[in-house]
Structure formats: structure tokens, C-alpha cells
Amino acid sequence: SQQGEEDPQALSIQEGENATMNCSYKTSINNLQWYRQNSGRGLVHLILIRSNEREKHSGRLRVTLDTSKKSSSLLITASRAADTASYFCATDEVSNDYKLSFGAGTTVTVRA
């Protein structure tokens, strides 16, 4: 079953702007991961945040995790055309034998 749900479903921004997308989930997790998928390609792992972490950075990416609200956000700063892709959160549910559950994704379009 789909554990994570991303919001918004789609996002269109100007190059140089920041993009923020959110992920909500339903049950206790061990960790949460964010992936990027370019059109016609497989998913690429971006960042993993553990349940005892609140914030993590990787280059222009910033991820937050609020386990009390069962939500996470992914911020991409100073967006570029190459950031145009779909972004998925994946949760590692404690109750699901640690298998990953993916949300439906946020499609981000960065306009030049």
C-alpha cells in the first residue's frame, strides 16, 4: 500500500527559485528517503534521513523530518533546468519488515 503521499502533485518554478515539496506518511518509520526520476529513467537516490534526525543537507538539497507530524519536506535551492524531474519520498515502515513504500511523486518543472 502507498505509505507516503507527496504534495503538491506538480510544481512549476523559474530557474533560480527554490522548490519545496512535502511528504506525509501514516505509520512509524525507521527512515525516509528521497529519490529523483528523470523522464524515461530509473530512480536516483538523493538523501536518506533517519527517524532520529530532524534535518539533513546535501549540496542544494535540504530535507527535514518531523516524526510527530509524520511528515518530511525536500527543499531544492537555486533551482536549475536540470532539476526538472519527478521526486519521490519512500518510507521504511517498521511494521512492513522494512520494505520501502513509495509515494506517487511530485513533478517539478524548472522554466529557463
Partner 1 sequence: NAGVTQTPKFQVLKTGQSMTLQCAQDMNHNSMYWYRQDPGMGLRLIYYSASEGTTDKGEVPNGYNVSRLNKREFSLRLESAAPSQTSVYFCASSEVAYNQPQHFGDGTRLSIL
Judged by the rule CB under 8 A, the positions of this chain that interact with partner 1 are: 1-2, 4, 30-31, 33, 40-45, 48, 50, 88, 90, 92, 98-105
Q: Helix, strand, or coil here: 95?
A: helix
Quote the CA–CA distance of 66 and 80 in Å, as a whole number.
27
CB of 8 to partner 1, least distance (A): 14
Nearer to partner 1, 14 or 97 (CB): 97
Q: Report the residue number, 99 or 111, with the smaller CB distance to partner 1.
A: 99
User: Dmax of the chain from CA atoms?
Assistant: 43
Nearer to partner 1, 84 or 91 (CB): 91
> Is 86:109 a contact under the CB 8 Å cutoff?
no
